[in-house]
Chain A
Amino acid sequence: MKLLGLFNYWVFAVLLMIGLYALISKQNLVKKIMALAIFQSAVFLFFITMSRVDGGTAPIIQAGVSGQIFSNPLPQVLILTAIVVGISTTALGLAIVVRLNEEYGTVEDNEILAMDRES
C-alpha cells in the first residue's frame, strides 16, 4: 500500500531519469530537446503531487460553505510559471537547432562535433 501511495513520486523519479538518460545518450538534437521537456515535466508532476491534500478541492471560497479542505494552490501557481519557463527553453532550443541545421546541414550531435574539430 505504501508503494502505491507513493505512485506519483515513483513516476516523477522514473520520468526524470528517462529524460536525463535520453539527454546523455541521444545524438539527435531534436530528441535532446524532447528529453529536456520530459525532464522538466517530471518536476512539474512532483510539485503538483506535493500540493495535493487528501479529499481537497479547488481553493475557492464559496458563500455559505465552511469547513472545506483545499489543495495547496501555491505549488500549482509556481508550476504555471515553470511551465512558461519550460516552453521558452524548448522554443529557444528548437530555434537554435534550426540555425544549426542551416549552418551545418545536420542535427546530429556527433557530426556537428566532427565538423567543429576539423575547423
Chain B
Amino acid sequence: MNLVDHLPALQVALPLLTAPLVILLRNGFLAWMAALAASLASFGLAILLTQGVLGDGVPEYAIGGWQPPFGISLNVDGLGALMLLLVTGASSLGLAGGRLSLRRDIDNRRAPMFYGAWLIALAGLCGIAVSGDAFNVFVFMEISSLATYILIAAGRDRRALSAVFKYLIIGTIGATFYLIGVGFIYMMTGTLNFADMALRLGEVIETRPIIIAAGFITIGLALKAAIFPLHIWLPRAYTYAPNAVTVFIAACSTKVSIYVLLRFNYGVFHGNLLGHSDLFSVFIVPLALSGILLASAIAIYQGNIKKLLAFSSVAQIGYIALAAGLATQAGLMAAQLHMFNHALAKGTLFLCVTAFVLTSRSANMDKLAGIGRRMPWTMGAFVIAGLSLIGVPGTAGFISKWYLVVAVMEVPGWGIPLVVAIVASSLLAVVYLWKFVEKAYYGTPPDGDVSAMEVPLPLRALIWFAALANIYFGLAPQLPIALAESGTGTLLGGLL
C-alpha cells in the first residue's frame, strides 16, 4: 500500500490531530499559522484525492484492516471529492482572510482554543464526506456541529449566544432523528455500510420500519441542511458568528448535510423503495420552491448585510433541494454544481463583508453607505460574486442555473411554471443585492467621510482571487462538471 491509498484517512486525521497541538500553542498568531497550515495541507490532500477520483478512482480504505461491511470503510467518489474541495477550500479561505478580523473578535489568550475548535469542525466535515458508514457519519456530524457551535458562540455580540443555543437544540434534534432512522435500518438489515445497506434493503423492501427510517433521516437531515421551513436557526447563527466563521460555515456546513441527504435518498433508498423518487419529489419540491421565493423576498427587507446574505443562503439551498428533488440525472448534476458554485459565490461575498466590517466596524447597511467609493477594490469583488449569485452569464452561478433550468424543463407539465419561479427568484436576488450595491456606491456615509480606506493588500488580493475564481469556473467549468458527472454515476448506480 503506498501513500496515495491512505489519503482518505489522512484527510480526516490531519486536521483532527493538529487540533490538540494548536491548543497547546500559547500564542494567537502561532495558533493561527498552524491552523492555516493544516487547513491548506488538507486542501492539498483534497486536490490529490480529486485527481485520483478523476483518474483511476480512489480505492476503498478499510480502517484498521477490517474489511467492510464489518469494518468501517472510507470511500471517496466524485461527489465526495467535490465536498472535500468545498470544505477544505472554505476553511482555508476563512482562515487566510479572517486573520485581522479574528484578531479583533477573539481574545489572544483564547485564540488557540478557537483555532483548535476550527480544525475539529474541519475534520468532522471532511469525515462526513469520506465515510462510507452511516453511524460514522452521525459521529462526524456531531463532532463538526459541536465545534461549529463553539465557533459561532465566539461572536462579540451577545446575540451570538442566543442564536447558537437555538442552533444547538435544532441541530441536535436533527442529528437524533438521523440516528433513529439509522437504527430502524440497522434493525431490518443488520448493516451500517452504505453500499451493503443498498444491497440488503431489497430483501425487506416496503416494510414499515424502512419507510419510517426514510422519513426520519430525510427530516433530520433537512433540519441540519436548513431546507425551508426548517431554516429558522440559520439567519441568526450566520449573522452573529465572527465574520471569518461565517465565511467557513456559510460556504460548506449546510451543503455537507445535503450531501448525506443525497447519499441516503439516492445511494440507498432510490433503487429499493417503490415510488421513492415520487414521494421524495412531492415532499421536497414544494418546500424548496417556497424557500426559493419566500427567503429571497424576506432578504429584501433586511437591514444587516450579513442577515441579507444569510436569507439568500436559505433561498440558494432551496435551489439545491429543488434540483435534488427532481430525481433525474440532470437534476442531480444541477444540485451538485450549484453546491459548488454557491459555496464559491457565498464564500467570496462573506469575505468581502469581513473586509467591510474590518474597516467600518458595522454590518448595518445604513452605516456601510458609501463604502463602494471608499473601498472600490473590495466592492468590485462583491459585485462580481453577487453577479455569480444571481447567475449572470460568464460567472460560475450561470453554469448551475443553466443546468437547473435544463433539468426543470424535463419535468412533464411543470417545466414552465418551475422555470418562471427560478427566474422570478433570480430577479428577487437582483433586487436584494442591488439594494446594498446602490447604498454602497451612491449612498452618503453616515459621517460624511468619503476618504479611501482599503483593507491591507494581502486580504484584498485574496478577495480578488476568490472573485476571479467565480469567473474562472464560469468560463471553464470542466472540473466541477466532471466531478458532478462521476458523483451522479455513483449516486444512481446506473439506475436511470
**Contacts of B309-339 to chain A: CB distance below 8 A:** none
Interface string of B158-172 (1 = CB under 8 A from A): 110110110011001
Question: Is the CB–CB distance between A92 and B168 below 8 Å?
Answer: yes
Question: Is the CB–CB distance between B179 and A96 below 8 Å?
Answer: no
Does B262 sit at the interface, judged by CB under 8 A?
no
Question: Is the CB–CB distance between A97 and B165 below 8 Å?
Answer: yes
Does B176 sit at the interface, judged by CB under 8 A?
yes
Question: Is the CB–CB distance between A46 and B165 below 8 Å?
Answer: no
Question: Is the CB–CB distance between B176 and A96 below 8 Å?
Answer: no
**Contacts of B116-151 to chain A: CB distance below 8 A:** 135, 138-139, 142, 146, 149-150
Given known A23-B169, A23-B173, A100-B162, contact A92–B183 (CB-CB < 8 A): no
Question: Is the CB–CB distance between B173 and A39 below 8 Å?
Answer: yes
**Contacts of A92-119 to chain B: CB distance below 8 A:** 92-93, 96-97, 99-100, 103-104, 112-113, 116, 119
Does B187 sit at the interface, judged by CB under 8 A?
yes
Question: Is the CB–CB distance between B172 and A36 below 8 Å?
Answer: yes
Contacts of B149 in A (CB 8 A): 92, 96
Number of residue pairs spanning A and B whose beta carbons lie under 8 angstroms apart: 68
Query: Chain B binding site: helix, strand, loop or mixed by DSSP?
Result: helix
Residue in contact with B180 in the complex, picked from A23, A46, A113, CB distance below 8 Å: A46
Q: How many residues of B contact A (CB 8 A)?
A: 24
Question: Is the CB–CB distance between B158 and A104 below 8 Å?
Answer: yes
Question: Is the CB–CB distance between A96 and B164 below 8 Å?
Answer: yes
Does A53 sit at the interface, judged by CB under 8 A?
no
Contacts of A32 in B (CB 8 A): 169
**Complex: chain A residue closest to B147, CB-CB:** A92
Residue in contact with A89 in the complex, picked from B135, B139, B162, B172, CB distance below 8 Å: B172
| Cα distance A113–B187 in the bound complex, in angstroms | 42
Given known A23-B173, A85-B139, A92-B168, contact A112–B186 (CB-CB < 8 A): no
Q: How large is the interface on A (under 10, 10 to 19, 20 to 34, 35 or more residues)?
A: 20 to 34
Question: Is the CB–CB distance between A50 and B186 below 8 Å?
Answer: yes
Does B153 sit at the interface, judged by CB under 8 A?
yes
**Contacts of A14-31 to chain B: CB distance below 8 A:** 16, 20, 23, 29
| Cα distance A81–B158 in the bound complex, in angstroms | 33
Does A88 sit at the interface, judged by CB under 8 A?
yes
A74 to chain B, nearest CB (A): 8
B165 to chain A, nearest CB (A): 5
Residues of chain B having any CB pair with chain A under 8 Å? 135, 138-139, 142, 146, 149-150, 153, 158-159, 161-162, 164-165, 168-169, 172-173, 176, 179-180, 183, 186-187
Having A16-B180, A23-B173, A93-B165, one finds 16 other A-B pairs with CB under 8 Å, namely: A23-B169, A40-B172, A40-B176, A43-B176, A50-B186, A75-B183, A75-B186, A88-B142, A89-B168, A92-B150, A93-B169, A96-B161, A96-B164, A100-B161, A103-B158, A112-B162
**Considering the complex of A and B, which 3 residue pairs feature the smallest CB-CB distances, nearest first?**
A103-B158, A85-B142, A50-B187
